[in-house]
Amino acid sequence: MPFDVEAIRADFPILERTTPDGLPLVYLDSANSSQKPRVVVEAMEDHYLNHNANVARAMHLLGAEATEAFEGARATLAAFLGAARSEEIVFTKNASEALNLCAHTLGAALQPGDEIVISVMEHHSNIVPWQLLAARTGAVLRWYDVTADGRLDLEAAVHDGLLNERTKIVSVAYVSNVLGTVNPVREVAAAAHAVGAVVVVDASQAVPQLPVDVSTLGADLLVFTGHKMVGPTGIGVLWGRYDLLAELPPFLGGGEMIEVVTMTGSTYAAPPHRFEAGTPPIAQAVGLATAASYLTDLGMAQIAAHEQEITAYALQGLATIPGLRVLGPDTMQDRGGAVSFTLTDAGGDQVHPHDVSQLLDSRGIAVRGGHHCARPLHERFGVQSSTRASFYLYTTRGEIDALVDGLGYTMRFFGARS
């Protein structure tokens, strides 16, 4: 069926909001957190009002219903990702926790001098856990650099022997949350596997935008978060090859992750429950499964095509703004729907992204200003911070026009002051 953006927008009541000044809300911050369709909110409301209980612990009707809903959500997410079995899905509270889980459990086998490889374009959540792991184990942290146009510098990596017999873990973003770059994960994974490394993929920006099939991607572990894919906050997902998950030690101790507990020791449950200590995010899992079903019904290929079309339109419009510099790819080749940029005023000074964001907000346009939890990447491009506009399945051309008009107003404002 045709991708009807206006019909989709009707599913998101918040998009009908206006500002206190009566301006329409233009929400261009979906890389930070997406809006939620009514069906997701209603699914969670129904669970709390009619089926609320803890899972796997109560031998009564509500307990059985809650458990069925929770495990059903696991199965839905497995199908959404093309996983071989539902037991490959581990629920966490967000992608950051999932990446920390990867670092802690994979780190159990590291020795001093082993190497961990990430990239300079990673979100802090895919940098700090590996730094902590390296400090804890004596491993060495290395990274892919990026080219001037925001691509992984694979040629330099080969020249420098970045991946070698000491490499044990490679963890990279599928899609950059700053540059929008879609990284060649399959190529990176093949090179990592050739030296015997485990491949972790941060797919927080990819899963909402692209069809993701873990059976062909080449990842061994993959993480993402619910709130960026029209789902609720408070829930993330770790997918892993079951044979690898079965080898990994627990991350947190507590209820449900155990098999037998004695005062002298414990044995642990099989995956995924080994990694889900305590009461899990039950209603959030219900909401996330509903979000995955909603996206499936729309068609991930169609969502990706819309993202491509609307981002290309945005890049064309941004190119008309004097003093605007796009960080990263300025074409749609291997590119997603986040566009970060800097503005330089008539005096040659960079306009602070917080000022840009505030002026745009005064016109009802929501963007993000800062380093977007990717400070090393901004340093690589020689800037302290940037403004980011990010688009999604409900973004319209009219909203892009409003952004371009708002940036024109911003440049006139600062040009007059310089």
CATH code, 287: 3.40.640.10
What's the structural domain count of the chain?
Answer: 2
Domain assignment present for residue 317? The answer is: yes
What are the structure tokens assigned to 294, written together? Answer: 């909603």
Residue ending a domain, choose from 297, 315, 350: 297
- Host domain of residue 113: 40-297
373 has catalytic annotation: yes
- Is cis: bond before 272, omega within 30 of 0? yes
Same domain, 306 and 292: no
What distance in Å separates the CA atoms of residue 330 and residue 179, rounded to the nearest whole number? 9
Q: How many CB atoms lie within 10 A of CB 245?
A: 22
Same domain, 363 and 240: no
Identify the active-site residue in 373, 383, 401, 408: 373
Residue ending a domain, choose from 297, 329, 356: 297
Q: Which residues of 287-312 are buried (b: 16+ CB within 10 A; e: fewer)?
A: bbbbbbbbbeebebeebbebbeebbe
Same domain, 117 and 262: yes
> Which is it for strands 140-144 and 115-119: parallel, antiparallel or unpaired?
parallel
What distance in Å separates the CA atoms of residue 191 and residue 186, rounded to the nearest whole number? 9
What distance in Å separates the CA atoms of residue 351 and residue 55, rounded to the nearest whole number? 52
Look up tokens 């089926």; give the residue: 51
Residue ending a domain, choose from 271, 297, 323: 297
What distance in Å separates the CA atoms of residue 279 and residue 144, rounded to the nearest whole number? 38
What distance in Å separates the CA atoms of residue 86 and residue 72, rounded to the nearest whole number? 9
Same domain, 306 and 289: no
List the CATH number of the domain containing 407.
3.90.1150.10
Chunked into runs of 10 residues, the chain (418 residues) has average pLDDT values of: 92 97 97 98 98 89 96 98 98 98 97 98 98 98 97 96 98 98 98 98 98 98 98 98 98 94 96 96 98 98 97 98 95 96 91 97 97 97 97 98 97 70
Q: Which residues of 96-121 are buried (b: 16+ CB within 10 A; e: fewer)?
A: bbbbbbbbbbbbeebeeebbbbbbbb
Tens digit of pLDDT for each residue in 311-354?
Answer: 999 999 999 999 999 999 999 999 999 999 999 988 889 999 99
pLDDT for res 184: 98
In this prediction the pTM is 0.97
Same domain, 265 and 315: no
Domain assignment present for residue 35? The answer is: no
Same domain, 166 and 21: no
Same domain, 197 and 345: no
Give me the sign of the Cα torsion angle 113, 117, 120, 124: negative
Same domain, 306 and 357: yes
CA atoms within 13 A on the CB side of 126: 31
